[in-house]
Amino acid sequence: MATHSHHDNHAGTEVAPAQTGQIWKVFWILAAVTTLEFIIAFFIKPGYFKTSLFVGLTVVKAFYIVGEFMHLKHEAKGLIWAILLPCLFVVWLLLALMMEGGSIFMLR
């Protein structure tokens, strides 16, 4: 690394200029959403509204990480569905077992 004298795109090499604008934009979105989650954690009373806000914001973060960082948004449609559909079954399992937990609580 030390032997290279690399100066972005002015050195006349065949290296193309960096295209990092979108990456940093996504970073700021993720940082802002995480900060918002912090504010919500302290200023909104516990309840269904708070929980659904958290879940909603988590899905937003997941969308940007998977869609932009993992590039899934720009892949072929078949691949997108191959990844998304199995996850929907997980959501169903989560809801079913949370209700199951509630009924275990009632039986105790």
Q: In the chain, which residue ranges form alpha helices assigned H by DSSP? A: 21-43, 48-64, 77-107
Q: Kindly identify the residues of this chain, within the stretch 29-68, that bind other proteins according to CB under 8 A.
A: 30-31, 34, 37-38, 41-42, 51, 54-55, 57-58, 61-62, 65-66, 68
What's the closest the beta carbon of residue 44 comes to other proteins, in angstroms? 11
CB 64 within 8 Å of CB 72: no
Nearest to 33 by CA among 53, 17, 50: 53
- Cβ–Cβ contacts within 10 Å for residue 10, how many? 8
Residues that bind other proteins (CB under 8 A): 1, 4, 6, 14-16, 18-20, 23-24, 26-27, 30-31, 34, 37-38, 41-42, 51, 54-55, 57-58, 61-62, 65-66, 68-70, 75-76, 78-79, 82-83, 86-87, 90, 93-94, 97-98, 100-102, 104-105, 108
